[in-house]
């Protein structure tokens, strides 16, 4: 059975720089102690790899319970779209930090712990994206309250037709 996955990351290199300082990202990309220029960061292969990995993290959490499909994640709009972009940007920044400084603790990287916690909440369904099918699945069913309980027919009244008439009934 083929695994469903997007061919694109859910955040671009430019969007990553909207959420994280270009100087910090440039320093994390450098293996030669020379900061990578801001203009080349969005297309840097290491950035693109981190964004794909972070997108994979998101898919892994969101698709696990069958609540979402890849197309749901790709078609988000408005605030949910911006939330998805920020989440992937924070995860990618964490992956870039781990790449450069493997001993770094997750709580020491801005946004990383919150992003990982959010993935867990998405996985368990405690937090959702604004997809209509998922929202409707979380709504409870309705109860018919058109008649007050004391005026509804009782079991005896509903079963009366199954039994014969008695002499004392009219």
Domain annotation covers residue 148? no
Domain annotation covers residue 107? yes
Domain annotation covers residue 124? yes
Residue 43 DSSP one-character state: T
Structure tokens at 101: 């400084």
pTM equals 0.74
Domain annotation covers residue 49? yes
Domain annotation covers residue 70? yes
Domain annotation covers residue 161? no
Which residue range(s) make up the domain with 79?
13-138
Spell 20-51 as b/e; 16+ CB within 10 A means b: bebeebbebbeeeeebbeeeebbebebbbebb
Chain centroid to CA 134:
11
Q: Name 4's Cβ contacts closer than 8 Å, sequence gap at least 6.
A: 63, 69, 70
Domain annotation covers residue 106? yes
In order along its 170 residues, the chain shows pLDDT tens digits of 456 788 899 999 999 999 999 999 999 999 888 889 999 999 999 999 999 999 999 999 988 877 788 998 999 989 999 999 999 999 999 999 999 999 999 999 989 999 999 999 888 888 787 654 444 544 455 555 566 666 667 777 777 666 666 666 55
pLDDT value for 12:
96
Question: What distance in Å separates the CA atoms of residue 18 and residue 22, rounded to the nearest whole number?
Answer: 9
Domain annotation covers residue 144? no
Structural domains counted in the chain:
1
């Amino acid at each position: 059975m083929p695994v469903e996955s997007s061919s694109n990351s859910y955040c671009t290199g430019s969007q990553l720089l909207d959420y994280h300082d270009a100087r910090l990202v440039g320093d994390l990309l450098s293996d030669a102690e020379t900061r990578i220029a801001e203009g080349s960061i969005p297309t840097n292969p290491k950035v693109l790899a981190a964004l794909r990995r972070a997108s994979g993290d998101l898919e892994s959490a969101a698709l696990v319970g069958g609540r979402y499909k890849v197309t749901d994640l790709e078609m988000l709009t408005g605030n949910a779209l911006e939330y998805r972009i920020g989440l992937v940007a924070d995860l990618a920044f964490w992956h870039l930090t781990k790449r450069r400084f493997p001993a770094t603790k997750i709580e020491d990287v801005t946004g990383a712990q919150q992003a990982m916690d959010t993935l867990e909440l998405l996985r368990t369904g405690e937090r959702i994206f604004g997809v209509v099918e998922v929202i409707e699945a979380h709504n409870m069913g309705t109860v018919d309250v058109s008649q007050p309980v004391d005026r509804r027919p009782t079991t005896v009244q509903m079963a009366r037709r199954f039994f014969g008439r008695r002499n004392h009934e009219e």
